[in-house]
Amino acid sequence: MADTATPGTPRTPDSTRRSERSRRAIYEAALSLVGEAGYARTTIEGIAARAGVGKQTIYRWWPSKAAVLLEAFVDLGEQAAEAAGGGDGGYEFPDTGDLAADLKAVLRATVDELVDPKYEAPSRALTAAGIVDPALGAEFVEKLLEPSLQLYVGRLRAAQEAGDVREGIDPRVAVELLVGPLSHRWLLRTLPLTHAYADALVDCALGGLAPRR
């Protein structure tokens, strides 16, 4: 009965003795390197060197380069949220009563975020890594994507109760009807991602393609 934590075969490091200093330095190094050189040309050795950290310190705490970057990214988001909201990091979805306006505002903000050069490279890299690696993808979805989607779901459910959305509609599908096309254009670069597109999406999705009788 030697080990406190999981008795699994691989050595479980003692997280209470972990160096906060190193952790922060690794986050910063990872993000800056991905921003400068791109994800593919960012290496664990490079992160360690820039962070002034031994390679083993990275391998001890993360299973892969993608995992490091994901955590760094989550941390970035938390810090931004903390700085902005002051609260516990929970963004709120606007509810002015005008569903279309609210959705357009949020989708426009999302567009702005997606094309912001500061976030674009690491976001794309993480998304791509998650597409190929299911485990990483699951973490990516759980930590970064799903929380946002839940906000949409909440707003749409409220709209449904207010009678602004038909009864038979599954709010989850409705969310994807809006977010899916945005994501599609961003990831695949088929056509420019603009505010106008965001507005068009909302109008189409709410009004439907079929003519109103």
Residues 49-88 that bind a second copy (CB under 8 A): none
First to last CA, the chain: 73
Residue 44 touches which of DNA, a second copy, none (Cβ within 5-8 Å per kind):
DNA
Partner that binds at residue 118, options a second copy, DNA, none, CB closer than 5 to 8 Å by kind: none
Please identify, using beta-carbon distances, which residue of 69 and 174 lies nearer to DNA: 69
Check binding of 152 to a second copy (CB under 8 A): no
Task: Establish if 128 lies at the interface with a second copy (CB under 8 A).
Answer: yes
Query: Are 119 and 191 a contacting pair, CB within 8 Å?
Result: no
Closest to DNA by CB, 60 vs 184, is 60
Nearer to a second copy, 77 or 181 (CB): 181
- 106 contact, one of a second copy, DNA, none, CB 5-8 Å limit per kind: none
Distance CA 194, CA 190 (A): 12
Instruction: Compute, in degrees rounded to 10, the torsion defined by CA atoms 126, 39, 113, 95.
Output: 20
Closest listed residue to residue 64, CA positions, set 142, 132, 146? 132
Residue 147 CA, distance from chain mean position: 9
